[in-house]
A and B are shown apart, each in its own frame.
Chain A
């Protein structure tokens, strides 16, 4: 199959997927509703179309569509960054931010330690020498997707402080994960330039360039543009920044997040960009899911133990992170100690990060990260949907 036809196939699935996502009746299916919301069926479609089964989306197609994946990753990063408008965030109690950060960073540390311990005893020749994979895996493991909690709140019309906190945490939880991933990719950057002799200079370079791009575009968006013009400029911005990330071998999701944060601080401009980004949110997510399935190259024999270790470490990380935050941080209402169970859902940002790693490093490492992400998505999403309901019920916020 040619790359063009591969793209066509993905477009067709995306098209059907967007229609499917848009139908609330399907989303309300009680059985496996968590899985349907997180988009697992699209991953399975990708697996069916990929080299493992029908080979429609083969290696050649995957290589040619890399720029589109990079763009989709950038899209996710920019959208996330735009949500981080300080004026909005500071309206919430300061301890909410602390709660989010503490549980996220603790989860990260526990996943790193847990996996590190497993690797110490079970040394995989390929994984043992690549600490960046470990850090990125822990970074994406520390994130929580807002889809499950958001859906339950909207569907069941939940109103309560815990639900509110969960929504806040899941919306901002990815911040530290993306920062860690961006920093790790800069630190483990292959030597490329004479005038960059220390790895921290890569971090500085990526932050400075991102802020400059953010300021340029913020400046540009103050001009009155029509909807189609705004769409063009946002499209250009995403392609440019994602391409730049790809080109500099820095994380496009990290760069786009910084660009998004910069633009977000300016009220009117960020609203314009956000409206355009939301138009393509669902197609982008479905595209990523299908592609994740197609490029999923699993080696169950070798990596399954490590993936299981990751799942356990993540579960423990979130549980302990939630427990410490709930017991140490005063959010002005009692928070159940096992709140971490409600923060286990996986989603688009984790997937985008896994893709980011696979694009840059590829090989066994990339496959391993992708497998860990997809299997976690399968494992955690249904479990989290049940956990959220149970915790909210116990708290008396869900009847």
Chain B
């Protein structure tokens, strides 16, 4: 442990020295980004190893390292560098989605399908209601809603709710991969994560279509927007099936250089998804599910991903940490805390009610909610979409508050999930 701490300090000092040398000129940011990527990989990984000693999940270490070296703290990774490094996000998310799908076994999930459906349903209903009621009751304390009409406040409340139901599939997968957890509790969290990812996008687009005219004082609901979302989801699923088929054929007949193939194929699919406006996460989740459940290639697929998953997770979460907007959080921390508590309450109640209805065990009722706290890329994406669709003070206000609450959720999420996995007794790594 001492060795790791000393190495971390030395690498940090070296980077501090190097980043103080400003050369300017062509290719400077590119060179800085590259140096920063190498530095982030090493430092965040060591931070993860270190934090593991305190029984916390490694990804919390990666996140904290990211915050620490990011633009709002030590500024070893400038805003520009972080932006450059976020290009890796799509590849990372695709691999994470492929893992999520690859770990999704129908045979295991169908035993809990009722519980999963109830959990998603009740979580969405309760979180939406809680947030809407909260905003209606406390709008006078929310500066950008103080002078608005009740209809606008209602729309904003619904949007807050819709944004708060999203969770981070990446966090779930990373913690499961790290703890090598296996069992019904893990399957339950994974099942909810995979299904909820699709449901959240649909619910959000429906809520947005209704809330937008309420907030912007328009008369018509944009039904085309909802139809487009359905269209994108349907096409993504079809594309995911095709992608799964190609991966399956490759794993069956060629087998060699799986990692190189997967990386190349992912890049190809990302390009295609940009061209046809498809959801990359959905494509790879479906592809993973297809390979896992319609062939025997599920295990080789997961093994191939595992070969590169460590650097991907480390980079992805460290950059996620560096991208957390600390100044935004610091100016809104009180309200953000309210939102976090409300979301925790809603998630707990939703999971607990689902557990009671389906007569599940006490583990699900008491600890199940802890698997759904983490929030990251998906919520950020939806918050950005909100900003685009609802320009002006209200759009900025909603997205700012949501981004602030993500900062807390993303830090406590993995910790709570690992704790719940330990409580369920499904963790397989030595603690």
A:39-68 near B, CB below 8 Å: 66-67
Per-residue 0/1 for B1-37: is the Cβ within 8 Å of any A Cβ (1 yes, 0 no)? 0011011001100100010010100011011111111
| B260/A238 in contact, CB under 8 A | no
Assembled-state Cα–Cα distance A192/B28 (Å): 12
- Taken residue by residue from 312 to 336, chain B's Cβ proximity to chain A (1 for < 8 Å, 0 otherwise) reads as 0010000000000000000000000
Chain B positions within 8 Å of A238 at CB level: 38
Residues of A contacting B311 in the complex (Cβ-Cβ under 8 angstroms)? 231-232, 235-236
Q: Is the interface of B mostly helix, strand, loop or mixed?
A: helix
List of A residues within 8 angstroms of B32 by Cβ: 243, 247
Do A229 and B45 touch (CB < 8 A)?
yes
Kindly state the separation between the CA atoms of A238 and B23 in the bound complex, as whole angstroms: 21
Asked if B267 and A67 sit within 8 Å, CB to CB, the answer is no
Q: Mark A1-13, 1 if CB is under 8 A from B, else 0.
A: 0101101100110
Question: Of residues 278 to 292 in A, which have CB atoms within 8 Å of B's CB atoms?
Answer: 283
Q: In the complex the two chains form, what is the Cα distance from A261 to B41 in whole Å? A: 22
A219 on the interface (CB 8 Å rule)?
yes
Query: Complex: how many Å from CA A240 to CA B307?
Result: 21
Q: Does A246 contact B (CB under 8 A)?
A: yes
CB distance from A176 to the nearest CB of B (A): 27
- Considering the complex, give the chain B residue whose CB is closest to the CB of A215: B10
Size class of the B contact interface (CB-based, 8 Å): 35 or more
| A232:B310 contact, CB within 8 angstroms | yes
Closest B residue by C-beta to A238? B38
Question: Do residues A67 and B3 form an inter-chain contact, with CB atoms below 8 A?
Answer: no
Contact call A216/B41, Cβ cutoff below 8 A: no
Which of B7, B31, B34, B267 makes the CB contact (< 8 A) with A216? B7
B39 touches A14 (CB 8 A): no
Residue of A nearest to B267 (CB): A8
Give a binary string over A247-282; 1 marks a CB under 8 Å from any B CB, 0 the rest. Answer: 111000000000000000000000000000000000
- Residue from B3, B42, B314 having most chain A Cβ neighbours under 10 A: B42
Q: Which of A80-88, A120-128, A220-228, A293-301 forms contacts with chain B?
A: A220-228
Which of B28, B31, B267 gathers most chain A CB within 10 Å? Answer: B31
B178 to chain A, nearest CB (A): 12
Tell me, rounded to whole Å, the shortest Cβ–Cβ distance linking B90 to chain A: 9
Q: Least Cβ distance of B145 to chain A in Å?
A: 41
* Complex contacts, A222 vs chain B, CB 8 Å: 3
- Is B268's beta carbon under 8 Å from chain A? yes
* Residue among A5, A11, A14 having the largest count of chain B Cβ atoms under 10 Å: A11
A18, CB-defined interface residue at 8 Å: yes
Give the docked Cα–Cα distance between A8 and B27 (Å).
23
Within the complex, what minimum Cβ distance (angstroms) separates B123 from chain A? 34
Residues of A within 8 A of B37 (CB): 239-240, 243
A4 engages B271 (CB within 8 Å): yes
User: Which chain A positions have C-beta within 8 A of B41?
Assistant: 232-233, 235-236, 239-240
Q: Say how far B77's CB is from chain A's closest CB, in angstroms.
A: 12
User: Does B219 sit within 8 A of A, measured CB to CB?
Assistant: no
How many Å lie between the Cα of A19 and that of B28 in the bound state? Answer: 36
Q: If A4-B270, A192-B21 touch, does A229 touch B310 (CB 8 Å cutoff)?
A: yes
CA distance A219 to B32 in the complex (A): 25
A305 interface contact, C-beta 8 A = no
What 1/0 flags go to B248-278 for Cβ under 8 Å of A? 0000000011001101100110110000000
CB distance from A137 to the nearest CB of B (A): 23
Would B28 and A240 count as touching, CB distance under 8 A?
no
| Nearest chain B CB to A83 CB, angstrom units | 22
Contact B42 A19 (CB under 8 A): no
Q: Does A142 contact B (CB under 8 A)?
A: no
> Contact between B267 and A237 (Cβ–Cβ < 8 Å)?
no
> Are A237 and B271 in contact, with the CB atoms below 8 A?
no
Q: Mark A185-200, 1 if CB is under 8 A from B, else 0.
A: 0000000110000000
B174 CB → nearest A CB, Å: 14
Q: Which of B3, B14, B35 has the most CB of A within 10 A?
A: B35
Whole-angstrom distance between the alpha carbons of A70 and B30 in the complex? 11
A168 within 8 A of B: no
Give the chain B neighbours of A115 by CB distance below 8 A.
Answer: none
Closest to B311 in A: A232
State A243–B33 Cα separation when bound (angstroms).
8
The verdict on A246 contacting B31 (CB below 8 Å), with A12-B264, A216-B7, A240-B38 known, is yes
Given contact pairs A235-B41, A238-B38, A18 touches B257 in the complex (Cβ within 8 A): yes
Q: Does B306 contact A (CB under 8 A)?
A: yes
Chain B residues with CB under 8 A of A71: 34
B92 to nearest A CB, angstroms? 14
The answer on a CB contact under 8 Å between A19 and B257 is yes
Return the chain B residue nearest A240 by Cβ.
Answer: B38
Please report the C-alpha to C-alpha distance between residue A355 and residue B256 in the assembled complex, in whole angstroms.
30
Partner of A15, one of B28, B45, B257, B267: B257
Q: Which residues of A contact B27 (CB under 8 A)?
A: 66, 246
B306 touching A19, Cβ below 8 Å = no
A209-B18, A239-B38 are known; give 12 further A-B pairs, CB within 8 A.
A11-B263, A18-B257, A67-B31, A216-B7, A219-B7, A220-B4, A220-B46, A231-B311, A239-B37, A246-B27, A248-B21, A283-B260
Q: List 8 A-B contacts (CB under 8 A).
A: A4-B270, A8-B264, A8-B268, A67-B31, A67-B33, A220-B3, A233-B41, A248-B18
Pairs of residues from A and B, 8 with the lowest C-beta to C-beta distance, nearest first: A240-B38, A243-B35, A239-B38, A243-B34, A236-B41, A236-B42, A246-B31, A11-B264
Give A residues with C-beta under 8 Å from B.
2, 4-5, 7-8, 11-12, 14-15, 18-19, 66-67, 70-71, 192-193, 209, 212-213, 216, 219-220, 222-223, 228-229, 231-233, 235-244, 246-249, 283
